[in-house]
Amino acid sequence: MSQYDFHSVEIPYREFPASMFTPIRSDALAEEIARPSTSYWKDVWHRFRRDPLAMIGLVVFTAMVLACIFYPMLTDRPYDGMFLKESKKAPSWDHLCGTDRMGRDLFVRIMYGARISLSIGVGAAVINLVIGVIYGGISGYIGGRTDMIMMRIVDILTSLPSLLYMLLIIKIFEQLKINEVVAIMVALCFTSWIGTARVVRNEVLRLKNAEYVMAARLCGGKTRHLLLRHMIPNAMGPIIVSTAFLVPSAIFSESFLSYLGLGIKKPMSSWGSLASEGFGDYSLYPWLLVFPLVAICITMLALNFIGDGLRDALDPRLKH
């Protein structure tokens, strides 16, 4: 027998014990689900709540919203009027943030100011979202010369100094006797939607040649149907993140305008107008300036933490 003739060698199978042979997968493991099936938004919430800073921001912002809604309803201290006997009292248990020059409780004024500041911030963000989605969606889907013209209009609006046109819009609305809250919201929305429009345009350009969009187009889908049912929903991640960062930006811009005396008028108050009132007496009564600024800073940080958390949670590359 040749030394290479292995076929002639008989190896009895019984010499190998059964313990040496184990199945790769048992029937129990074959049917085991490694990860429970979840929807996209449940998966987003799962990743979002694992971010401690995002959850802190969400809790703080929720507490601020609930406080500004319910605290002025539960207290008997008015936000306007004159109470000169209690003028400029330091913070105490009776007045958590002290009183202003008219004797009004500063904490109540801050809560009332939060209603206006947060309403302007959220309202401006929603309006910017609607305008940006419509404008960017049309520009990206049609493309060609239409896209070029629409983007050049965006470039022109971007080149305008923002403070100049905001002042102009506010002054025009003052002459027309229109509410200053509406005037500020319109001024903030004049070009703030541009960032959202660019995000939506880029997403639509990326998605409009996708296979499911081409299939829907071949089935007779109209432009409106394709945008609202296929492309915009699949671009909601970047859109939501962009909108989340618009809210603190709008709040800061409103506070800045009110600080300059161009925003909310007395007896109404916003965080910016309260800071403007307290600036003159800062050396003697620092709480009049510090507490409104603290409210602005806490809210801005909370909203930025939420925005960062949403950006990470909505990124499918981080799915695990």
CB–CB of 135/150 below 8 Å?
yes
Detail the DSSP E strand segments found in 92-240: none
How high is the mean pLDDT of the chain? 80
Amino acid at 179: N
How far CA 250 is from CA of 116, 245, 247, in Å, comes to 12, 9, 5
Listed ranges 199-203, 221-225, 248-252, 258-262; the one with the highest mean pLDDT: 199-203
Q: Cα–Cα–Cα angle for 76, 80, 81, nearest 5°?
A: 95
In the predicted model, what is the mean pLDDT of residues 210-218?
80
Query: Which is more confidently placed, 234 or 136?
Result: 136
Of 185, 161, 172, the closest CA to residue 270 belongs to: 185
Q: Domains in the chain and their CATH numbers?
A: 41-75+107-318 (1.10.3720.10)
What pLDDT does residue 55 have? 93
- C-alpha atoms less than 13 angstroms from C-alpha of 169 in its C-beta half-sphere: 21
In the predicted model, what is the mean pLDDT of residues 174-185?
81
Residue 286 φ/ψ, nearest 5 degrees: -65, -25
Question: What is the Cα–Cα distance from 113 to 318, expressed in whole angstroms?
Answer: 39
Q: Which residue has the tokens 């100094």?
A: 161
What pLDDT does residue 312 have? 81
Helix axes 287-313, 40-49, angle to 10 degrees: 130
Residue 239 CB coordination number (10 Å): 20
The pLDDT confidence band at residue 63, using thresholds 50, 70 and 90, is very high
3-state secondary structure of 272: helix
Cβ neighbours of residue 248 under 8 Å, at least 6 residues apart? Answer: 121, 299, 300, 303, 304, 307
**Model confidence over 234-268: pLDDT tens digits?**
777 788 888 888 888 888 888 888 777 777 777 77
Dihedral angle, C-alpha 153, 156, 162, 164, nearest 10 °: -110
**Model confidence over 11-58: pLDDT tens digits?**
555 566 666 666 655 555 555 555 566 666 787 788 888 889 999 999
**Model confidence over 145-174: pLDDT tens digits?**
888 999 999 888 888 887 788 888 888 888
Question: What is the Cα–Cα distance from 99 to 84, expressed in whole angstroms?
Answer: 10
